[in-house]
């Protein structure tokens, strides 16, 4: 899969995760009821996760290792808060809402990755 296609999938997963998180969290995570806000926020989140998140993980690696990876929830929350700060129509009420949104986005990412992996294995077996 090419870099561009992987990025498009990541963008879609981020947008879908934000949409599900907004549905679960209600007023704690809002997007003015416009799908375009979710698409743009998903794009910004995909870019942030591609560029800034690896740097943050590098600096917080001791905390991630010490907590056996649980600190990644905090890192994900910080990325969601960063997107909310960069893009005003997308609103997150606070850190705990961002942490729950990051968890939801992570679960959606895990599910989509598992589905894509299964479909790729099926294609490899038929060849």
Is 54 among the domain residues? yes
Is 1 among the domain residues? no
**What pLDDT was estimated at residue 32?**
83
Is 3 among the domain residues? no
**What pLDDT was estimated at residue 113?**
86
Number of domains in the chain: 1
Is 98 among the domain residues? yes
Is 5 among the domain residues? no
Is 109 among the domain residues? yes
Is 99 among the domain residues? yes
**What pLDDT was estimated at residue 6?**
87
Structural domain of residue 76, as residue ranges?
Answer: 10-34+42-126
What residues of the chain score a pLDDT lower than 70? 1, 122-127
User: 29 by DSSP, 3-state: which?
Assistant: strand
């Amino acid at each position: 899969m090419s870099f561009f296609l992987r990025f498009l999938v990541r963008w879609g997963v981020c947008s879908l995760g934000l949409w599900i998180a907004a549905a679960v969290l209600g007023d704690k995570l809002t997007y003015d009821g416009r799908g375009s806000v979710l698409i743009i926020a998903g794009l910004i989140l995909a870019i942030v996760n591609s560029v800034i998140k690896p740097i943050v993980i590098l600096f917080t690696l001791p905390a991630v290792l010490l907590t056996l990876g649980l600190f990644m929830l905090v890192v994900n929350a910080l990325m969601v808060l960063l997107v909310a700060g960069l893009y005003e129509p997308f609103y997150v009420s606070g850190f705990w809402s961002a942490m729950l949104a990051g968890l939801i986005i992570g679960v959606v990412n895990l599910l989509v990755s598992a589905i894509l992996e299964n479909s790729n294995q099926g294609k490899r077996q038929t060849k």
